[in-house]
């Protein structure tokens, strides 16, 4: 099962051929879970809540109020060999003069691969750096980032870049 979503089609029929209604009677906490009018159950991000075995109960009701329940279990396993990213580049210097442009290309490595594709990262910046005018951009499908800043006044600024991989693992 993937880390993004899970779909399950409830199998039910009415011997009289009438319409059926589907309801979730019991389910664990997920970001989103629903059953549609055709009995398709969809849940997003079950991995986020670290529930390894979750029971879901679907109630099916016919037009006369007769009902039945279908119970199924959703087993969530963590991704295999899920590693946090590692920064592989560092700024060349820590002190910049007023009016000169600071430019830094951010590179990371993540040991996880999905087929021939690496586990790409997105980059975020702490609020103090944003307030000081630092600009951070993600490029090339999040294979690298770029930080730029042009100081206009003297002072120290704490800059924290966070790399977040597709599984939510982080490095700062």
Task: Output the pLDDT for position 3.
Answer: 47
Tens of pLDDT, residue by residue over 79-97, are 566 788 889 898 887 788 8
Give the total number of structural domains in the chain: 2
How many other C-beta atoms are found inside a 10 Å radius of the C-beta of residue 86?
A: 13
CATH of the domain at 100: 2.60.40
For residue 50, what pLDDT is reported? 53
The full DSSP string for 81-134 is: T----EE----S-S---TTSPEEEEEEEE-S-EETTEE--EEEEE-HHHHHTT-
CB 50 within 8 A of CB 28: no
140 in the same domain as 97: yes
- Give the Cα separation of 161 and 64 in Å (integer): 60
Query: Same domain for 69 and 97?
Result: no
Q: What range defines the domain where residue 25 resides?
A: 5-75
Same domain as 120, residue 154: yes
Tokens of 91: 């700024």
User: Do the domain assignments include residue 80?
Assistant: no
Per-residue tens of pLDDT for the chain, all 172 residues = 444 567 889 989 899 999 999 999 988 765 568 899 998 888 765 555 555 677 889 999 999 999 999 998 877 665 566 788 889 898 887 788 898 999 999 988 877 765 556 677 889 999 999 999 999 988 866 678 899 999 888 888 889 999 988 778 889 9
pLDDT, position 52: 62
Q: Is 117 among the domain residues? A: yes
């Amino acid at each position: 099962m993937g880390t993004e979503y899970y779909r399950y089609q409830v199998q039910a029929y009415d011997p009289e051929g009438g319409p059926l209604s589907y309801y979730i009677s019991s389910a664990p906490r997920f970001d989103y879970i629903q059953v549609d009018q055709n009995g398709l159950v969809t849940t997003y991000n079950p991995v986020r809540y670290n529930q390894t075995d979750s029971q879901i109960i679907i109630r099916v009701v016919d037009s006369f109020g007769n009902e039945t329940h279908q119970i199924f279990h959703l087993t969530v396993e963590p991704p295999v060999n899920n590693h946090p990213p590692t920064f592989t580049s560092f700024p060349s210097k820590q002190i910049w003069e007023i009016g000169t442009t600071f430019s830094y290309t951010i590179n990371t490595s993540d040991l996880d691969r999905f087929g021939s594709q690496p586990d790409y990262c997105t980059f975020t910046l702490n609020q103090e750096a944003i307030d000081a005018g630092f600009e951070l951009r993600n490029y090339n499908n999040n294979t690298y980032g770029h930080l730029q800043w042009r100081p206009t006044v003297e002072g120290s600024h704490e800059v924290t870049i966070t790399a977040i991989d597709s599984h939510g693992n982080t490095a700062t």
